[in-house]
């Protein structure tokens, strides 16, 4: 009998340990530090957003919140790690357009689902993109770039992390213009930009927060921006539409995600804390310095935004003919 009781108790304890956090237990959340995973190397857009998203968040939640870079495979290693983490609110993903919308448009044989395995928690900000070139290239407009690329097939190179929005936009541009521009894959935006500055590649597309300082310093030349309107900081740089190339998505969305099954009470706590931070004066100042747009909203509203992002980038991937099944 004692053995039966012990076995039953052990089975009950194992079941309890495996049970997701209940609303009652969620009331104590958080009671230890929270990790936010950036799936890309330091210095790139994802890492920048992760550090922005966590700025002061620990103070709101009453626990330390730290960023961990888990990189590789175009972000998929870090994203997979969060998808497989316990759904308790202590492991979050700094995700968004790249990881939760572009990835499912390009990969169809992953061992995790970039959409179904995650729940949107809080939007952080949007960041538009800009196409830039190394200034040694003798072109100043998209039309001149296309003309030069056609006159020198295979001689120009573009680069970005494989399987994210900049990669897809560069391939979309190549297809739309009928040019032979070689794509070079990188582990993240930072090493790609380093090679662009060194003229090892000549063309790049990535976010405003990362590229604007290089443009204003004259280290890179901007040819076109993805937004519907010109940027106040670059009034002489036209939009893609003005340059004759419409259909380029305007913004990348960044936000916090948790593994599917995380209790709604925990999600609500993180959402409220992040939204409070986005409205705070110090965060508003940091956002303004990066020329970003903050978007405090409910988890449901952010989830709807991401659903639209999935549809938008699937259409771009189909038009570009890009598929990266493993």
Determine if residue 155 is left, alpha or beta; phi over 0 gives left, psi from -120 to 50 gives alpha, anything else beta.
alpha
Query: Which pLDDT score is estimated for 6?
Result: 46
- Whole-model pTM? 0.83
Query: Which pLDDT score is estimated for 98?
Result: 92
Assigned token pair, 119: 């729940």
- Give the ranges where the chain is alpha helix by DSSP (H): 2-18, 23-26, 45-53, 57-61, 76-83, 97, 103-106, 142-151, 165-177, 189-197, 208-216, 264-278, 281-289, 299-320
Query: What separation in angstroms does the CA of 137 have from each of 39, 145, 160, 218?
Result: 32, 9, 18, 13
* pLDDT in single tens digits along all 326 residues of the chain: 444 444 444 443 444 444 444 455 567 899 999 999 999 888 888 888 999 999 999 999 999 999 999 998 878 999 999 999 999 999 999 999 999 999 999 998 999 999 999 999 999 999 999 999 999 999 999 999 999 999 999 999 999 988 889 999 999 999 999 999 999 998 878 899 999 999 999 999 999 988 999 999 999 999 999 999 999 999 999 999 999 999 899 999 999 999 999 999 999 999 999 999 999 999 999 988 888 889 999 999 999 999 999 999 999 999 999 888 75
Q: Dihedral of the CA atoms 236, 240, 245, 249 (nearest 10)?
A: -170
pLDDT digits (tens, 9 = 90+) for 184-219: 998 878 899 999 999 999 999 999 988 999 999 999
Query: Which pLDDT score is estimated for 16?
Result: 41
Are 237 and 260 in contact, with CB atoms under 8 Å apart?
Answer: no
Beta strand 118-133 pairing with 182-186 = unpaired
Q: Give the Cα separation of 22 and 29 in Å (integer).
A: 11
Total residues found in the chain within this entry? 326
Query: Which pLDDT score is estimated for 46?
Result: 87
**Dihedral sign for Cα atoms in the order 74, 78, 84, 87:** negative
Is-cis flag, bond preceding 30, omega within 30?
yes
Q: Give the Cα separation of 44 and 64 in Å (integer).
A: 23
Instruction: Catalogue all structural domains in the chain, each as residue range(s) with its CATH number.
Output: 2-127+252-320 (3.40.190.150), 128-225 (3.40.190.10)
Measured between its terminal Cα atoms, the distance across the chain in Å is 53
Tokens 């990362």 belong to which residue? 210
Q: Give the Cα separation of 291 and 128 in Å (integer).
A: 9
pLDDT digits (tens, 9 = 90+) for 113-136: 999 999 999 999 999 999 999 999
Query: Which pLDDT score is estimated for 326?
Result: 52
Query: How many of the other CB atoms lie within 10 Å of CB of 172?
Result: 22
Phi/psi for 205 (5° steps) reads: -130, 125
Q: Give the Cα separation of 208 and 210 in Å (integer).
A: 5
Query: Which pLDDT score is estimated for 7?
Result: 46
Q: Give the Cα separation of 211 and 194 in Å (integer).
A: 11
């Amino acid at each position: 009998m004692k053995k039966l009781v012990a076995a039953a108790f052990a089975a009950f304890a194992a079941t309890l340990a495996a049970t997701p956090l209940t609303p009652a237990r969620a009331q104590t959340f958080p009671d230890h530090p929270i990790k936010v995973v950036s799936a890309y190397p330091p210095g790139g857009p994802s890492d920048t957003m992760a550090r922005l998203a966590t700025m002061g968040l620990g103070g709101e939640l009453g626990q330390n919140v730290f960023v961990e870079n888990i990189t590789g495979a175009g972000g998929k290693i870090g994203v997979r790690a969060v998808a497989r983490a316990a759904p308790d609110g202590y492991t979050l993903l700094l995700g968004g357009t790249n990881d939760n919308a572009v990835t499912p448009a390009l990969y169809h044989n992953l061992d995790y689902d970039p959409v179904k395995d995650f729940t949107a928690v809080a939007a952080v900000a949007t960041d538009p993109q800009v196409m830039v070139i190394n200034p040694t290239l003798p072109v100043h407009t998209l039309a001149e770039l296309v003309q030069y690329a056609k006159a020198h097939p295979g001689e120009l190179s573009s680069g970005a992390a494989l399987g994210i929005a900049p990669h897809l936009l560069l391939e979309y541009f190549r297809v739309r213009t009928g040019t032979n521009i070689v794509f070079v894959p990188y582990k993240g935006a930072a090493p790609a930009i380093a090679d662009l500055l060194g003229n090892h590649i000549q063309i790049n597309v990535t976010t405003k927060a990362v590229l604007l300082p290089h443009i204003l310093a004259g280290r890179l030349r901007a040819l076109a921006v993805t937004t519907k309107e010109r940027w106040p900081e670059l009034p002489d740089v036209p939009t893609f539409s003005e340059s004759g190339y419409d259909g380029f998505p305007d913004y990348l969305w960044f936000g916090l995600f948790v593994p599917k099954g995380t209790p709604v009470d925990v999600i609500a706590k993180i959402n409220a804390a992040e939204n409070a931070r986005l409205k705070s004066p110090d965060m508003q100042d940091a956002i303004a310095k990066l020329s970003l747009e903050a978007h405090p909203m409910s988890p449901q509203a952010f989830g709807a935004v991401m659903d639209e992002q999935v549809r938008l980038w699937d259409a771009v991937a189909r038009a570009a003919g890009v598929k990266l099944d493993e």
